[in-house]
Amino acid sequence: MKAMILRADAADAVQTAHILASNGFQTLCVTSRDLAQAMIHAEMIDLMVMDQRVGTQLTHTLALSAERRNPYVSTIIMTDEGREVMDDLYGLIPSLYALIGTQTETALVSQIFLSAVANAAEVARRIDRQLAADAADMGEGEEDLDLIAQDDAACWGAEDDAASAAPAAHDSVADGRRSWGDYADVRPHPVLNAPAMPPRDGAIKAFA
C-alpha cells in the first residue's frame, strides 16, 4: 500500500511516516502542494494524510485529484478545527475517511490509518454513491438540454408563424387604405374662374 504525506511541519511529517511505515505502508513525503499534485499524477496513491492547510492554501483539491486518479483512495486530514466547522468536508470530499486531531495518540492514529485502507466494503459503497450522484447530475444536464431544444423549436415555430402571417397583415393594411375612399368627402366643389379684366386704355398702352 502506498501513502502520501503532506504536513506543514517537518517533525509531524516524520512522525506520520514512521507510523505508516511500521504498518507496512510505502510512504511518499512531500512538502508543497505542487509536489503533491505531481506525485498524484505519477503514482497510484492508496492513502493520503494531509494537514488541512499548507502555508495559506487548503489541501482539499488534492484529495479530489487523487480520487480522480484512483477511486479507491482514502483521505485523512489532520486538523484541530471543531466539528461544526469541518463536518461539511465529508460532503465536499467523497474520499475523506477521517478527521484526526494533531495531538491524537499514536496508537489510535495507527489504527485509523489501517482501517482507512482495510475497509474495502465501505470504499466500494462510497464509490457507488459517487457514481449514482454523477449519474443524477448527468441526467439533470440532459433534461436541461431537452428544455433548451424545446425552447429553440418554439422560437423557430413562432418566427415561422410570424413570417406566414406577415402577408395577411400587409393585405389588411392595403385593404384599409383602399377603403378610405368610402368615407372621404368627394362632393364636387364649385370652380372659381378669374374675373375678366377691363380693356386697356390706349394712352396707358403707349407707355407700356
Across 6-10, 13-17, 81-85, least confident range: 81-85
Residue 208, C-beta contacts closer than 8 angstroms, at least 6 positions apart:
200
Predicted confidence at residue 185, as pLDDT, reads: 45
In this prediction, residue 32 carries a pLDDT of: 92
If you average pLDDT over residues 148-171, what whole number do you get? Answer: 56
Q: What is the 3-state secondary structure of 53-116? A: EECCEECHHHHHHHHHHCCCCEEEEECCCCHHHHCCHHHHCCCEEEEECCCCCHHHHHHHHHHH
Residue 186 has phi, psi (to 5 degrees) of: -115, 20
**What's the gap between Cα 147 and its chain centre?**
17
pLDDT higher than 80, residue 28: yes
pLDDT for res 122:
65
- Distance in angstroms (rounded) separating the CA atoms of residues 87 and 95: 14
When mean pLDDT is compared over 116-125, 172-181, 194-203, the highest value belongs to 116-125
pLDDT at 183: 43
**Whole-structure pTM value:** 0.60
- Domains of the chain as residue ranges with CATH: 2-118 (3.40.50.2300)
The per-residue pLDDT for range 89-142, each reduced to its tens digit, is 888 898 999 999 999 999 999 999 999 988 666 666 766 776 777 677 777 656
